[in-house]
Amino acid sequence: MEAGLTPGQWVTILHQGLSKKEARAVELDYIKKHPTRFNKDMGLANVRLTKELVQNIRDARDQFGTSYSDLSTQFNCSAMTAHRICNGEVRTVD
């Protein structure tokens, strides 16, 4: 790359060898400490999930390895919502 910066000049790798779960925890911690103007919190206006429902979805995924598609059918939500729930990206109304 002759006409600019290379990633090595502007990227710093802080952690290596993390599991997906560990990397996600580090990422969430970073996002909380460094909010951006783009990933705004939308609040609870559109949330219809209870703690019990979220826990049931997570349990089904953790205990039985249920696919996101099957979770969406079983719990009446989208596969993407099931994915977000299982990866800690969804809040509840409770």
- Comparing CA positions, the residue from 66, 84, 94, 92 lying closest to residue 28 is 84
In a domain, 54, yes or no: yes
Per-residue pLDDT reduced to its tens digit, 8-59: 788 888 889 999 999 999 988 888 887 766 655 555 555 678 889 999 999 9
CB 75 within 8 Å of CB 84: no
CB atoms within 10 A of CB 55: 12
Say which CATH number the domain at 77 has.
1.10.10
Per-residue pLDDT reduced to its tens digit, 57-68: 999 999 999 999
Distance CA 30, CA 65 (A): 29
In a domain, 1, yes or no: no
Both structure tokens of 8: 């090595």
DSSP annotation of 37: S
Domain count, the chain: 1
CB 72 within 8 Å of CB 60: no
